[in-house]
Amino acid sequence: MNALGRHLLLELKDCNPEVLNDLEFLKSSLTETAVQIGATVIGDSFHQFSPQGVSGVVIISESHLFIHTWPEYSYAAVDVFTCGEKVDPMLAVKPLVEKLGSKSSSVIELKRGILQDIELAVS
């Protein structure tokens, strides 16, 4: 079975609530992680909510890294989606867990664009 991409859903609990409410820290953390795993960063968009919380995306040529935070619950939901074979999204898990200070994390991986009986072009 072939897939166009891999999509990781990270459940990050017991995080540092201060960093979950720091837009600039989150932007740099996601960007640094994208670069660290070999992705090509294209741009980003982040929003600070009132009274707290941040949502943001770092767009990579291979797809994206997305975060939603709930500092009041010390919780962050992070998506790491990559297409092709160049970037392994699993390499983003450890740095993100460490940067956000998560003491309890889990990861679900989904194969996206499952194409049966079709040979995918390797890029």
Q: What is the pLDDT of residues 23-34, one digit of tens each?
A: 999 999 999 999
Q: Is 91 left (phi over 0), alpha (psi -120 to 50) or beta?
A: alpha
| Annotated active-site residue in 63, 74, 102, 105 | 63
- Cα–Cα distance between 55 and 39 in angstroms, integer? 20
Domain 2-115, CATH: 3.60.90.10
The neighbouring-strand residues paired with 89 are none
Closest among 112, 76, 110, 81 to 96, alpha carbons compared: 76
Closest among 10, 12, 63, 56 to 34, alpha carbons compared: 63
pTM of the predicted protein model: 0.89
**Annotated catalytic, 68?**
yes
**Annotated catalytic, 63?**
yes
Give domain limits for the chain: 2-115
Judged against a pLDDT cut of 60, whether residue 5 lies above it is answered with yes
| Annotated active-site residue in 7, 64, 74, 83 | 83
Q: What is the pLDDT of residues 40-72, one digit of tens each?
A: 999 999 999 999 999 999 999 999 999 999 999
